[in-house]
Amino acid sequence: MIKTDILIIGAGPTGLFAVFEAGLLKLKCHLIDALPQPGGQCSEIYPKKPIYDIPGFPEVLAGDLVDNLMEQIKPFQPTFTLGERAETIDKLEDGTFVVTTNKGTKHNAPVVAIAGGLGSFEPRKPLLENLAQYEDNGIAYMIKDPEIYRDKKVVIAGGGDSALDWSIFLTDVASEVTLVHRRNEFRGALDSVEKVQQLKNEGKINLITPAEIVGLHGEDKLESVTIKKSAAEVEHITLEVDNFIPLFGLSPKLGPIANWGLEIEKNAIKVDTFDYQTNVPGIYAIGDVNTYPGKLKLILCGFHEATLMCQSAYQRIFPDKKYVMKYTTVGGVSGFDGTKKEAPKAVIKAID
Amino acid sequence: MTDIKLKITDRDGVMHEIEAPTDMNMNLMEVVRSYELAPEGTIGICGGMAMCASCQCYVLSDHELPEKSDDEEAMLAEAFNVKENSRLGCQLHISEEMDGLEVELAPEEL
């Protein structure tokens, strides 16, 4: 069981900044995120896009903002459960919460802060009739262990970086790699596109474009797929395969949090703007995942919400302690790792 | 003229005749959201960067619309329920030329 002071669900910019504000109050944080890396949407959807409304940054790339936040919170030694989705929440007799992920990892904390943005990112699944039947029987939406494709016939669908990169990677593992995409153009890093072109010329990748997979066949497991070429007069292709990996990116879903007994309105969690607490005392919601009159889904608003949430969390954890807010310029930043940042002392020297 | 008229059919098949301003730097996805023609959280998920297809719509009238950008083409190539007349609402900037435009929102990807 992982124990912490504030359990933050969602490692996007709001969740990350909450670690800093909690750290100033000497509260420890642990973060859970369904994605394999911190940063949320900023890392997953638009790392190379500039943001212009972060106070003090005339322009900052979303990916750089995440790097900066990670650097800023480093002294407070946040810990992470990445690649797992928060699934259930239970309240213990002592008033603390236990949050369990889809992989069974348990976390215990007196305060839970949901900074879940638009929800957890789930793979986008193609609209094929008998898709569910072959899930884990030949169809997977993520590649966890490439070795299972050793000497297999694999077909990948998609036109982005992950489709390109995995096609390249699997040429050394699988016996046959086919890449199917609806267009001739790919949206990926230029050198990945060029590499696929080269592998295609060498006959190592069987590239079928513009085309899409329209049918799945097999007794108990996937045995073949039907590929429809976009040119109407061309006959459909039946391709024998062991594995089909659709890589159509990820889309966010509020997911299991919707069933935690929290008041939901417009796909977001209702909070009190006094401290961003939900209708369940001890559970807070900050950033894009919450809603209240006048809500704006902006990173800068998430930072503010995270700050006020931490104050309330402190009061909840230490009901008898009085806390006086200290400016970092005055009090400095004392990390849990023993580091101390503070303003240099003024030098006093007489002039003769 | 600062307002244009649009006919937008929502995902339940209900047609809404609405007015949209041309002088507020809005796109079609934002107009749909401002009239709440689709539930929050189901449209404009990426915020209007052509990086999701939650604002996909079908253009029903024969208006001449601006060409698709590479980003929009690429996204529509990966979206589901795509038809010949599919566009991403977030890439359609509201302009006077769009007066009378008729669109239908594509189904939500589940």
Where are chain B's structural domains? 3-105
Question: What is the helix (H) or strand (E) element at residue B76, kind and residue range?
Answer: helix B70-78
Q: What is the pLDDT of residues A197-253, one digit of tens each?
A: 999 999 999 999 999 999 999 999 999 999 998 876 778 899 999 999 999 888 888
- Nearest by Cα to A132 from B110, B83, B108: B110
Report the distance separating Cα A38 and Cα A50, nearest Å.
Answer: 18
Question: What are the counts of helices (DSSP H) followed by strands (DSSP E) for chain B?
Answer: 2, 5
Backbone phi, psi, residue A280, to 5°: -100, 110
Closest CA–CA distance from residue B93 to any residue of chain A (Å): 20
The answer, as to whether pTM is greater than 0.80, is: yes
Report the distance separating Cα A94 and Cα A351, nearest Å.
Answer: 63
ipTM for the complex? 0.78
Chain A, nearest residue to B77 by Cα: A182
Report the distance separating Cα A130 and Cα A145, nearest Å.
Answer: 24
Of A159, A254, A266, the CB nearest to B78: A159
pLDDT above 90: residue A136: no
Q: What is the pLDDT of residues B35-67, one digit of tens each?
A: 999 988 889 988 898 888 999 999 999 999 999
The rounded mean pLDDT for chain A is 93
pLDDT score, position A271: 98
pLDDT above 90: residue A344: no
> In terms of CATH, what superfamily is B3-105?
Beta-grasp domain (3.10.20.30)
Q: Flag if A160 and B78 touch (Cβ within 8 Å).
A: yes
Q: HEC states along A100-133?
A: EECCCCEEEECEEEECCCCCEEEECCCCCCCHHH
Q: Flag if B52 and A49 touch (Cβ within 8 Å).
A: no
Q: Flag if A185 and B73 touch (Cβ within 8 Å).
A: yes
Residue A46, chain B, CB below 8 Å: the answer is yes
Residue A78, chain B, CB below 8 Å: the answer is no
Report the distance separating Cα A195 and Cα A167, nearest Å.
Answer: 10
Tell me which CATH code domain A2-122+251-341 carries.
3.50.50.60
Residue A110 burial (CB count, 10 A)? 20
Contact residues, chain B, for A249 at CB < 8 Å? 78
Domains A2-122+251-341 and A131-248 agree in fold: yes
- CA torsion A140-A142-A146-A149 (nearest 10°) is 20
Q: What is the pLDDT of residues A100-125, one digit of tens each?
A: 999 999 999 999 999 999 888 888 89
Cβ atoms of residues B102 and B87 within 8 Å: no
> In terms of CATH, what superfamily is A131-248?
FAD/NAD(P)-binding domain (3.50.50.60)
Tokens for A201, please give them: 């010329």
Cβ atoms of residues A113 and A7 within 8 Å: yes
Q: What is the pLDDT of residues A260-286, one digit of tens each?
A: 999 999 889 999 999 999 999 999 999
Contact residues, chain A, for B35 at CB < 8 Å? none
Of B39, B51, B73, the CB nearest to A267: B39
Domain boundaries, chain A: 2-122+251-341, 131-248
